[in-house]
Amino acid sequence: MNEWNIQSRAHICEACTQPFADKQHYHTILLDEKEVLRRSDICESCWQKTSSGEAASRAGFISHWQGVFEIAPPVVDAIQKETAETLLRKLIEQNDPAHAPAAYILAVMLERKRLLKVKEQIKRDGKRIFVYEHPKTGDIFTIADPDLHLSQLQQVQQDVANLLEHGLSPAASAPAAESESVPPVAEEIPAPTENEVAEGEAVEEVQK
């Protein structure tokens, strides 16, 4: 199974294939299809007709939640500096296992800032997998817990700060500067503490 994944919110209902209207309520079902976790977006009308009573009995059913479809705003000029969200999307797209710890830290940072919300937590092949949703776009992020040890955390946080400052470029792998200054975005979204990462407190607090 691909442990890193982003799935965008559908623009049409999977059942009736009708386009979603702006501000229209919809239902999302999360399904385990062995190789991937797949989302299924269904309009309110189809949900009431067929899916509401069948969702939990579907093969691979994991979870269900409701959302409100929003038409995306016009695309603006590209962001010059990396943000935690844009960097996380790039790391997931690149799918390099070496960046798994950084992706996990970024997801926790975005959760603390309420830019991502935990929708589900599952176990796959002995690993803890978090399913996050972006409240504004409806995108689903699948992030594996790299099971960081406290001795690794400081270095990973330093790597994240370096990636935020330099991006995914050759400069990103260069040693961190002697200055202890942190890029602006890292100040706006503080990195999680050792206890939050080691014990999963940041995630558990949301689920409570």
Q: What share of the chain is helix, strand, coil (3-state, %, to 5)?
A: 35, 25, 40
pLDDT given at position 183: 39
- Cα separation, 3 vs 84, whole angstroms: 19
Torsion sign, CA atoms 189, 192, 193, 195: positive
Tens-digit pLDDT profile for residues 38-82: 999 999 999 988 766 677 788 888 999 999 998 876 654 443 456
> Helix count (H) and strand count (E) of the chain?
7, 7
Instruction: Please give the tally of structural domains in the chain.
Output: 2
Tens-digit pLDDT profile for residues 2-44: 567 889 899 999 999 999 999 999 999 999 887 788 999 999 9
Backbone angles phi, psi at 105, to 5 degrees: -60, -40
pLDDT given at position 188: 43
Q: Where does a domain end: 36, 68, 100?
A: 68
- Cα separation, 41 vs 37, whole angstroms: 13
Q: Is residue 128 part of a domain?
A: yes
Tens-digit pLDDT profile for residues 84-119: 999 999 999 988 889 999 999 999 999 999 999 999
Residues 117 and 201 in one domain: yes
Q: Which domain holds residue 165?
A: 84-207
Residues 193 and 103 in one domain: yes
Q: Where does a domain end: 44, 68, 92?
A: 68
Partnered with residue 28 across adjacent β-strands are: 41, 65
- Cα separation, 40 vs 53, whole angstroms: 15
- Cα separation, 67 vs 9, whole angstroms: 10
Q: What is the pTM of this model?
A: 0.63
The tokens describing 157, both together, are 């946080």
Residues 127 and 38 in one domain: no
Residues 64 and 125 in one domain: no
pLDDT given at position 24: 95
3-state per-residue secondary structure call for 171-191: HHHCCCCCCCCCCHHHHHCCC
Q: Is residue 23 part of a domain?
A: yes
SS3 96: coil
Tens-digit pLDDT profile for residues 112-162: 999 999 999 998 888 899 999 999 899 999 999 999 888 888 899 999 988
pLDDT given at position 187: 39
pLDDT given at position 35: 78
The radius of gyration of the chain's CA atoms, rounded to the nearest angstrom, is 18
Residues 40 and 96 in one domain: no
Please state, in angstroms and as integers, the Cα–Cα distance from residue 155 to each residue in 102, 105, 119, 148, 191, following that order. 10, 11, 28, 11, 12
pLDDT given at position 127: 87
The tokens describing 138, both together, are 């409806």
The tokens describing 119, both together, are 């929708």
- Which is higher by pLDDT, 156 or 167? 156
pLDDT given at position 78: 43
